[in-house]
């Protein structure tokens, strides 16, 4: 009998895609901002920008 992928395989696949996309986004923020000294700071910038975008879309801020 043939079996399809398990639920765990699907979760790992989705996690891998998310981590790859996030890494590229963080790396781009790191490379494009000369004031950013490390990848950790670039990750904070990406996170804060995402929160800010969500607030704007919801009309919460400004």
* Residue pLDDT, tens place only, 2-45: 788 899 999 999 999 999 999 999 999 999 999 999 999 999 99
| Alpha-carbon Rg for the chain in angstroms | 17
Sign of CA dihedral 34, 40, 44, 50: positive
59 falls within a domain? yes
27 falls within a domain? no
Domain extent for 41: 37-62
Distance CA 34, CA 47 (A): 18
Q: Considering its fold, how many domains does the chain have in total? A: 1
Residue linked to tokens 């989705």: 14
The structure's pTM equals: 0.79
Task: Judge whether residue 1 has pLDDT over 70.
Answer: no
Report the pLDDT value the prediction gives residue 18, as an integer from 0 to 100. 97
Report the pLDDT value the prediction gives residue 5, as an integer from 0 to 100. 85
12 falls within a domain? no
28 falls within a domain? no
Count CA within 13 A, CB hemisphere, residue 9: 4
60 falls within a domain? yes
58 falls within a domain? yes
Work out the angle at residue 46's Cα, subtended by the Cα atoms of residues 41 and 47, and round it to the nearest 5 degrees.
Answer: 95
Report the pLDDT value the prediction gives residue 2, as an integer from 0 to 100. 73
């Amino acid at each position: 009998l043939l079996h399809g992928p398990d639920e765990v395989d699907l979760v790992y696949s989705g996690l891998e895609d998310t981590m790859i996309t996030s890494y590229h986004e963080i790396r781009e923020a790191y490379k494009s901002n000369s004031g950013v000294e490390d990848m950790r700071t670039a990750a904070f910038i990406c996170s804060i920008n995402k929160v800010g975008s969500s607030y704007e879309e919801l009309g919460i801020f400004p």
